[in-house]
Amino acid sequence: MGIRYEDFLDTAYEPKESDLVCSFYLEPADGISWNGAASRVASESSNGTWAELDVEGSVEDLSATACAIDEESGQVTVAYPDALFEPGSMPQILSCIAGNIMGMKAVDRIRLLDCKWPKKLVESFPGPQYGSAIRTEILDAGERPATATVPKPKVGLNTQQHATVGYEAWTGGIDLLKDDENLTDQSFNPFEDRLIESLAQRDAAEDETGEKKSYLLNVTASGNEMLERVDMAAEHGCEFVMVDVVTTGWGAVQQVRERCERHGLAIHAHRAMHAAFDRIPTHGVSMRVIAQIARLCGVDHIHTGTAGLGKLANEDTRGINEWLQSDCHGLTDVLPVASGGLHAGLMDQLLTELGTTIAVQAGGGIHGHPDGTHAGAVAFRRATDAAARGESVENAASDCPELARALEKWGTETPR
Ligand SMILES: O=C(COP(=O)(O)O)[C@H](O)[C@H](O)COP(=O)(O)O
Ligand SMILES: [Mg+2]
């Protein structure tokens, strides 16, 4: 039989329950019709090419179908048969649905907007171990947002300074100390020393406050090194690892997830570099899909932005968070992390927008407090608790001088 790209279009096709259904935004190139663009996308992302092929066998079972085109919104739906995919392999899936098509000349722009994941494919992934339950299973946060801080400057503190910042923040009321995305194992703050010193301070802070504390240790590295760092985290009694999931790559994230299961470690996903894929709204892969991928691969936390309140550009934080907490064939949920330019004065608005099933993370908004890290942590925690109870942050400042100072400094400013 002959296979031509035109054969990948059938607007009468009703996706099957077992299909992976993807929505794309498209801008066909000059001289290419909507039908031509949509069919080429379905072809190139499954088993077609530009030339007509003569093959025998069941290749049609592996062909995707462009089954809906809405020229007005630019949206095209493509349904992929599940046999096209290797179960449990996120790299293979992405090489289909977000692979060559991102650079096809037949489309000027193409963005993978959303996926409807079928049960069998979802069940081939582990999903998160804890998700939002980390608030009670690892921390003592109950129903309130978990609070986290990343020492600033993001690199350059030595190990002792880093651990001391941790102690100050933990004893000020913060639940989680977090490494920054570009802090791994550098000479000024080596990985294992930092792990040991930080956990010693964590233990001291737990004794002092009577609250559970934990450390989001950045294990990002290449190959076996990353797995060895996961093992080290577990051996020293850490409950979390942090991975820069986009720069590391999904195959490696899957390996980390497997290793973490062995140790019962939770995974905090930092998404540095996501904006290379999702910032231009007409091209790339949406943050919504990146978050879906992360959930399937099994991270427990992922950064999803600040609903526009912080320093970084965000896409639909609220919608993404809702997806992360909605049912997806029984997968555990993910605790979304709001971060990037947050401070105490923004907590009212943030929690009104995003609710309390989140983690809130502040770096500059804690360590830039006029009276230092400890006061910054007290202010941030007090503001978070107040906002979570529906009390205004301003009102809470009346009996918390640290919070009053933070509000004096930053008010409700949105940093840039
Ligand atoms: O260092 C920070 C925040 O520091 P600060 O609080 O000083 O801005 C982070 O890397 C952001 O969390 C990333 O943003 P996002 O959450 O959007 O991925
Ligand atoms: Mg950072």
Residues in contact with 327: Cβ distance below 8 Å, sequence separation at least 6, in sequence order: none
Tens digits of per-residue pLDDT, 272-297? 999 999 999 999 999 999 999 999 99
pLDDT at 54: 87
Q: Is 283 exposed, middle or buried (0-12, 13-18, 19+ CB in 10 A)?
A: middle
* Per-residue model confidence (pLDDT) at position 252: 98
Please give, one letter per residue, the 3-state secondary structure of 98-110. CCHHHHCCCEEEE
The pLDDT of residue 94 is above 90: yes
Confirm if 8 and 67 have CB atoms less than 8 A apart. Answer: no
In 3D, which of 161, 261, 174 has the Cα closest to residue 209? 174
**Nearest alpha carbon to residue 87 among 14, 15, 18:** 18
pTM over 0.90: yes
In terms of Cβ atoms closer than 10 Å to its own Cβ (0-12, 13-18, 19+), residue 64 is buried
Check residue 93 and give its pLDDT: 98
Checking if the pLDDT of 349 tops 60, the result is yes
HSE-CB for 11 with a 13 A CA cutoff? 8
**What residues sit around ligand 2, an ion, with C-beta below 5 angstroms?**
180-181
Going by pLDDT thresholds of 50, 70 and 90, the confidence category of residue 56 is confident
**Closest residue by Cα to residue 359 from 395, 402, 312, 321:** 321
**Among candidates 147, 130, 148, 127, which has minimal Cα distance to 138?**
130
Q: Which atom of ligand 1 is nearest to the CA of 361?
A: 6
> Distance, CA 377 to ligand 2 centroid (Å)?
17
Name the CATH topology of 7-122.
Alpha-Beta Plaits (3.30.70)
ipTM: 0.95
How deeply is 364 buried, as exposed, middle or buried, from its count of CB atoms within 10 A (0-12, 13-18, 19+)? Answer: buried
- Closest atom of ligand 1 to 341 CA is 8
Residues 323-335 have a mean pLDDT of 98
Q: What six digits make up the tokens of 52? A: 């007509």
Per-residue pLDDT band at 59 (split at 50, 70, 90): confident
pLDDT at 183: 98
- Rounded to the nearest angstrom, the distance between the alpha carbon of 15 and the centre of ligand 2 is 41
Given ligand 1 and candidates 314, 361, 366, which is best to mutate, with the most ligand atoms within 8 Å of its CB?
A: 361
| pLDDT 10s digits, 403-416 | 999 999 999 999 98
Domain at 131-410: CATH architecture = Alpha-Beta Barrel (3.20)
Confidence grade of residue 171 (pLDDT, cut at 50, 70, 90): very high
Long-range contacts of 279-284 (CB under 8 A, 24+ apart): 279/313, 280/111, 281/111, 281/315, 282/25, 282/27, 282/109, 282/111, 283/102, 283/109, 283/110, 283/111, 284/102, 284/111, 284/112
Among all residues, which ones are annotated catalytic?
152, 270
Q: What are the extents of the domains in the chain?
A: 7-122, 131-410
